[in-house]
Structure 1
Amino acid sequence: MLEKQIMVSCRKCGAKTPSTLLKMDLDEKMMVCPNCLKAKKTLAHDKKTDPDIVAAHTPATESSRLGSARIGGPRISSIERRGETPKVINICSACHYKYNFNPETQTPRNCPYCGKSPSAF
């Protein structure tokens, strides 16, 4: 049995394409044809091989930019490293949700996920 394919225009380039070949482009949030996806992949590949971009994203550069990570004890976010208000990662003992807790202002007073107060933990 011969099936009739429905032709749909690509949202990016406007070319007529069978609907079965359209793919979702998550960055553009629309259905695009295979040619547009190929063009996007080659552009992304060219950008990744650019020496300036590769040098900017090396692990040594990122670790020196963020500072050394603390091992053990409460983790301090990068906000404290910049001299702003300190925040500690807290784990709710009722639901095990991880959230940032500011010890200076004692906020948030309850777990943002389950709403339990610290005395109920």
Structure 2
Amino acid sequence: MVIETRVKCRRCGRDAPASEFTVDYVYKMAVCANCVRERKASSNSSNHPVKNSPLSKSIMSEPKQNAVKQSVAVDWDEDDEFLEKTAGKKVVSEGVKVVKLDSGKLLYPCPKCKYKFKYDAERNNPNKCPFCATLVRK
């Protein structure tokens, strides 16, 4: 008979089998599966607010007050409009900056958690980030 080791979660205090624990990149420690589920559920609900909630209805129905009309310079043209729109925007790069190491290996930074690990391009190994399990982009 095999007795599984039970460990107390440092975040919630619940006893759980040691095999259920994972290192979570948000909490930066080993936590039980329930804590990970709760975090993912709360992050999903905060990203997608309920459309029919009374708070969102009141925000959407309020007319925009205190709208200040900006004065436009005399020599204002299309180029100025374009520059105003693009000046504050951040350029998002789609690629990941990889550093080439010896014999086909790369130092790959994970786009999600920024964890840097060695990636073998010839064997495509590991195919996921060892820290957060995000798939490696090719």
Return the TM-score normalized by structure 2.
0.37
Q: Which has the higher contact order (CA 8 A, sep 6+)?
A: 2
Return the TM-score normalized by structure 1.
0.41
